[in-house]
Structure 1
Amino acid sequence: MTNDFFGSKGKGRILAIDYGLKRTGIAVTDEMQMIASGLTTIPSGTAIEWLKDYFEKEHVEKVLIGEPKQMNNEPSQSAPLIAAFVEKFKKSFPDMVLEGVDERFTSKMAFQTMINSGLKKKQRQNKALIDEISATIMLQDYLSRKNII
């Protein structure tokens, strides 16, 4: 028995990572790569172990990592932090497709999304939620661009 309307098994999920100094926001698509959903926020120091566990449970086809850039397209001050994580990721998961995506404005968009959805000020101060929503926005933007082509 197949698990979708068209008779195929679907693709692997796409996972997006908004990696930060303290916290990492994670979002994921459904298996058909149509809907982006916030998954969780984890301590950044645990990201590789968390991903190992997740990859064992779920079929992930591709991972997106936010590339921090300034308005002039130059790398931001957090670029070395992201580069170090990318190196660890590639060593830990050499066969996984990893693609960098522009993450400019995702935190501001996440905060605005929280305001628009009616979250109270105390809830909007939850930086972990902002990181998770940022990863979701990054992933949804990627899906939107992918489906235009």
Structure 2
Amino acid sequence: MARLLAIDYGAKRTGIAVTDPLQIIATALDTVRTHDLLDFLKKYTQQEPVEAFIVGMPRRLDNTATNNTPLVEAFIKRLRNTFPDIPVYTHDERFTSSMALQSMIASGSKKSDRREKGNIDKISATIILQSYMESQR
């Protein structure tokens, strides 16, 4: 079975999470510079089979688009063009950054680790992936 790969897309940094091959557990993979994201994904998909990409879609509480929504939509177009054989799904990413920070606090992370935005990005991607998997069950 192939992995699911979640993307918490940002203008500067992007958090990435993946499932295990049996798609049971979501795990933080990495945070990459957004400029390097497609190259990173190309290398990763050459090493590991990916069944689908799950991209966090930024929305406001009233379900309207945010300032980042057009950036994510443009990225999804590039992602679909680059990987035409891998489906791309979107999933609500509201509150994932605050949930990631709370998760880090609850797990006893040091303040310096919590200040590192890349850590929050990859944990946010993990939350997006876990939430997507739960919604599919």
TM-score higher than 0.5 here? Answer: yes
Q: Quick one: distance in 2 between partners of 1:34 and 1:143?
A: 8
Report what 1:81 is aligned to. Answer: 71
Instruction: Give the drift of 1:130.
Output: 0.1
Q: TM-score with structure 2 length normalisation?
A: 0.98
Identical pairs, percent: 47
What are structure 1's unaligned runs of at least 5 residues? 1-10
Larger radius of gyration: 1
What are structure 2's unaligned runs of at least 5 residues? none
SS at match of 2:11: coil
Q: Quick one: distance in 2 between partners of 1:122 and 1:96?
A: 37
Q: Quick one: distance in 2 between partners of 1:122 and 1:76?
A: 29
Instruction: Give the drift of 1:87.
Output: 1.3
Code of the residue aligned with 1:122 in structure 2: it is S
CA shift digits 1:49-87 (9 cap, x unpaired): 110111111010010000000000001110111111111
Please list every run of at least 4 consecutive aligned residues from structure 1 whose deviation after the TM superposition is greater than 6 angstroms.
none
Instruction: Give the drift of 1:116.
Output: 0.4
Report what 1:59 is aligned to. Answer: 49
Aligned residues: 137
Code of the residue aligned with 1:53 in structure 2: it is K
Instruction: Give the drift of 1:104.
Output: 0.3
Q: Quick one: distance in 2 between partners of 1:42 and 1:21?
A: 11
Code of the residue aligned with 2:45 in structure 1: it is F
Code of the residue aligned with 1:89 in structure 2: it is L
Q: Quick one: distance in 1 between partners of 2:116 and 2:16?
A: 15
SS at match of 2:109: coil
RMSD: 0.7
Residue 132 of structure 2 is aligned to residue 142 of structure 1? yes
